[in-house]
Amino acid sequence: MNIENITTLGKLKESGYQSKSIKDELRENLISKMMSKETVFKGIHGYENTVIPELERAILSKHNINLLGLRGQAKTRLARLMVHLLDEYIPVVEGSEINDDPLEPISRFAIELIKEKGNETPIYWMHRNERFAEKLATPDVTVADLVGDVDPIKAANLKLSYADDRVIHYGMIPRANRCIFVINELPDLQARIQVALFNILQEGDIQIRGFKLRLPLDMQFVFTANPEDYTNRGSIVTPLKDRIGSQILTHYPQDIETAKTITQQETDKTIAQKQFIKVPELAKDLLEQIVFEARDSEYIDAKSGVSARLSITAFENLLSTAERRALIAGDTETMVRLNDFDGIIPAITGKVELVYEGEQEGAQIVAEKLIKNAITTLFPTYFPEIKKLEKHNAETPYDEIVSWFFNTEEDFELLDDYNEAQYKKELDKVAPLNAFLKQHQPNMNTADTYFVKEFVLWALVEFKKLSKYRFAEGTQFKDPYGNFISGL
């Protein structure tokens, strides 16, 4: 059907176009995509076997949907991606405020225009990207904002009585007729405003002031809510919950690989801007593990959640820390270092809600503990486990590294302003590290060697095999007993 030539109601009828509701559109296009094995919700990772099947079932059932989950779980993104399940274009009566279907008009304006002009009624074709409306629920939202109210200026200009329904100014919901309408953070909407949604969801009609309006609106509603909101700020009133067809629970990534995929996808532009910075896979794993540690931390409010945006902003901070260091040192190419992870602390402290114990510790200390916990969690997946209790004189794979620090007379320091050559030269001094990596990680990417060496040293500190002292210019590593003996 060549829509460019169909500009009037008469031509639309001749074309054989048939109207269908938005929920039928979504359902039919979903069926079509599923039958052709097409990915429906592109760019969404980790929901393939959980959220997406439930969302598809809700669309097939023609339900209004509530996406319930903690912050940063892609709830709004899922709602926006539903636009791709709409028909590419639909016909609309030209000049209609509420996107009237030319074949089934519902507003007084469209009905009278069609009565006057008949088959010559002008129409235009609305693209699916225009058929998405979104409103963040805030306590100051009114019924007039969402549904509509009487417009005294319109009444004065048109010389109309307030009894005439042409004085009505439509709110966001009628103006989103034949669209997907998303209300974010639904519990933040006052209870009396939620009540105004009852009829729209159930019967599809709206009530404005004292007018006897019955506008059978054709809409797909998607609500998003955070379970924390049910206790902190408000709740979804029970009769409204009853009218929402499907409530779908979202969740955070369940493994590091999925989390890395999401972070990579969201930071592609940042990576492209900073191509001269190499990021080892271990550094990416460590960054995601920090977020997993935060979600399990006793210092962080689990009900508030730890957003996926934490790993995204932390990764951007990590790259910028390495970039700043390279610019100061005059390096044209650099590799992320473990010391650079100090640069992600502002991203952590700004994204987590601390419980009382966390507040007592302090945000900076909590962030540093998360980094240390992530190192101790990941270390055994790459190298032999260091047991807390070992037999006296029992040999371990780490003895030679620890002995090197015990026997060395000069201080071993990794300064923040070292250029690449100085950084590598300093790490190469710890000769036993080379043999250790060859034995336990023979297939490791050689470009990642120096980051992994530093990772081993940090881990030995966390397992009390070495001691680490952080000062203004960098980090110093020592044998913990050497300090004691030299002091005697």
Read off the pLDDT of each residue in 28-39 and give the average, rounded to a whole number. Answer: 95
411 and 373 assigned to the same domain? no
**Does a structural domain hold residue 170?**
no
Read off the pLDDT of each residue in 282-302 and give the average, rounded to a whole number. Answer: 95
**Does a structural domain hold residue 389?**
no
**Does a structural domain hold residue 312?**
yes
- Please give the share of the chain, as a percent, with pLDDT higher than 90: 65
Choose the final residue of a domain: 249, 278, 312.
249
Q: In what order do the strands lie in the sheet with 467-471?
A: 412-415, 474-478, 467-471
In the predicted model, is pLDDT for residue 233 greater than 60?
no
**Does a structural domain hold residue 144?**
no
**Choice among 70-84, 148-162, 294-308, 365-379 with the minimum mean pLDDT:** 148-162
347 and 434 assigned to the same domain? no
**Does a structural domain hold residue 42?**
yes
135 and 229 assigned to the same domain? yes
Q: Report how many domains make up the chain.
A: 3
Q: Cα–Cα distances in Å, from 468 out to 80, 140, 343, 395?
A: 48, 52, 18, 23
Q: Which helix (H) or strand (E) holds 297?
A: none
339 and 417 assigned to the same domain? no
186 and 77 assigned to the same domain? yes
**Does a structural domain hold residue 151?**
no
Summary mean pLDDT of the chain: 89
Top pLDDT among 469 and 160 is at 469
Choose the final residue of a domain: 382, 417, 448.
382
| CATH code: domain of residue 238 | 3.40.50.300
In the predicted model, is pLDDT for residue 484 greater than 70?
no
403 and 435 assigned to the same domain? yes
pLDDT recorded at residue 147 = 85
Top pLDDT among 236 and 460 is at 460
109 and 216 assigned to the same domain? yes
pLDDT recorded at residue 488 = 47
| CATH code: domain of residue 338 | 1.10.8.80
Pair 303, 359: CB distance under 8 Å? no
How far apart, in whole angstroms, are the C-alpha atoms of residue 171 and residue 174? 6
Helices (H), 158-308: 172-175, 191-195, 198-202, 229-232, 238-243, 256-266, 268-273, 281-296
Q: Tens of pLDDT along 370-427? A: 999 999 999 999 999 887 656 656 688 899 999 999 888 788 999 988 999 999 999 9
pLDDT recorded at residue 200 = 80
Read off the pLDDT of each residue in 259-280 and give the average, rounded to a whole number. Answer: 89
First-to-last alpha carbon distance for the chain, in angstroms, is: 92
The boundaries of the domain holding residue 465 are 399-486
Q: Tens of pLDDT along 340-349? A: 999 999 999 9
Q: Tens of pLDDT along 77-115? A: 999 999 999 999 999 999 999 999 999 998 888 999 999
In the predicted model, is pLDDT for residue 429 greater than 80?
yes
How far apart, in whole angstroms, are the C-alpha atoms of residue 379 and residue 459? 7
Confidence category of residue 140, pLDDT binned at 50, 70, 90: confident
**Does a structural domain hold residue 145?**
no
pLDDT recorded at residue 193 = 85
Strand partners, 180: 132, 220
